[in-house]
Structure 1
Amino acid sequence: MPAGAIDRNTADVVLIVDDVPDNLAVLHDALDESGYTVLIATDGETALQRAAQAMPDIILLDAMMPGIDGFEVARRLKADEETAHIPIVFMTGLTETEHVVSAFNAGGVDYVTKPIRVQEVLARMSVHMQGARQARHARNALDAFGHASLVVRAADGRIVWQTPLARGLLEKHFPDGRLPSEVGSWMRAEGERRLNGQPSHPLVLSLARQGAEQPAALQRPHRLIFTLHEADDDEWLLVMRESSDQAVIDAVGAAFGLTAREAEVLYWLAKGKTNRDIGDILGTSPATVKKQLEHVYQKLGVETRTAAASLAMNRVGALGQG
């Protein structure tokens, strides 16, 4: 459990954010009597800190506060992957259309007007918390079955939510834990294919690095495979799967009587890499790669890169790894 988090086996957690003490007191007492664990914040900065630390199940957020107002608090919470899933119910005395629209645009799922009617707040909270709980259970179920899943906003590729497995894979392979640009391009192409009634194609990223702490010479190629499972105009559900190519390299090496390093060189040759690329991947020089390829050509009985790559690709295809 993260530091500062609260055990939800005992009670659902509500964060109330309001700069008026009387409003806080009324809501705190009513929610406490209803069995909730209640946290409070009297300003936007404190609200952001408490939300990040405690991960409440829902936030009741005053729209108009000095300093960081409720709209900005909501925007920041929704921009953070860790807190984006928390439902936010705005509390406001402003009922003009522009303020209601601002509340929803900032990420609110609902709003209640002041003066606060406690029973109405409880009823609305129950609905939104049930939806959030179902979404959390769905994410946990995906992880339990080994699916590294994430929902991505179609408009800009931003991750809306992700399972811990998905987060782990992204952090393992990409320094900032974010989706690489190739995924965005693939998503746009998949959108076009779906509009045209064509079948989806998975995206396969070949990744030579398995961790910065590992020497380049010991790193082994992996593939990260993205598949599209659901899509609508706003959000896409993607599933990632990691696949190590080491078994393929070993099989190719055994088939052609190659050393481990020669098999790796042939593998990357079949992937269309240049000698310089292969050298960068394996932590050696292009000249060394050239010498190893000469040995590979001799063992395969070929004279060109194209012929060697063709034999390797045929072997990979026979293994069902193409």
Structure 2
Amino acid sequence: MDVSRYATHSPCSDPRHHAPLLAAVAPDPASLHAAVTNAVVHYRAGATAATPDQLDDVDRRWTASILDAVVERSPGPLDAPRSSERQVGGCCRDHSLLAVAVLREHGVPARTRLGFADYLGTDGFHHDHVVVERHDGARWVRSDPELGPDDVAFDPFDLPTGEGSPFETAAEVWTAYRAGRRDLADHGAGPDLPWLTGPGFVQRYVLADLAHRQRHELLLWDVWGAAALPGAAPDERAVALTDRVADLTLQADAGDRTAEAALTVLWATDDRLRPGRYVTTWSPTGRLGWTDLVARRTGWAAVPRDAALVG
């Protein structure tokens, strides 16, 4: 399987003039963990409440923009310790995208994967999450750059895989739900956010995982095409499309090259899957935006805070 396309930058992972910052980070999992957790703090899970600037940071979809803020607030290597208020606000997507950007800067094939984790602090709940996959020459190795070896009972630098593992891909979760093996009431952004749980939420992540697989690492709260809107259920056509994407994703993850090629063809030929130039951005800041991915601009209109998507 040719994985070379994952060794070069996508528009989202491209650091632009900050390439030396990424090149200075060694591409091993421990170094990636130190770099991304010193540069970016989770806007909901940090030790202190996020500042107004850090809340605004969550909509910085481009690695170059994230690094702009890092350098402005606390110049120095990415792995240099920073006080919490000088870190950039973000979420798991930003930690993982930054790790992928470092790997790609070193020519290592890497990509982000979307799914659900059962180890993020709420017993019995599966939180939406983004992790990293890097290709070691023989296989895709999955890791969680937010975690160190002492944080969990399993190896965060080589995550277990498959249905029932601590991190399950969105395709695995959706397939289990469709087969009657899973109730999705406990899958989403958090048990305190019931409008951001359930089939519609997971369905959107199946399609977003495909986008990330195709090197379109958009925000977790970007919505386009056949993805269900916040709080809504997908229609029958969207369900059928999601079933197809999930099935091919599982086969491709198992090493089926024909399925991998079919995913790429489906992505290229079905307009419901590709974000195109514009996406709708339901920011957790409580704003609704229309983002021009070419101009790298978002126009905002206020919406009720409980309509936001939370990562």
* TM-score bracket relative to the smaller structure: under 0.3
The TM-score normalised by the length of structure 1 is 0.25
Q: Which has the larger radius of gyration?
A: 1
Which is bigger in relative contact order (C-alpha 8 A, separation at least 6)? Answer: 2
TM-score (norm 2): 0.26
- Which structure shows the bigger proportion of residues in helix conformation? 1
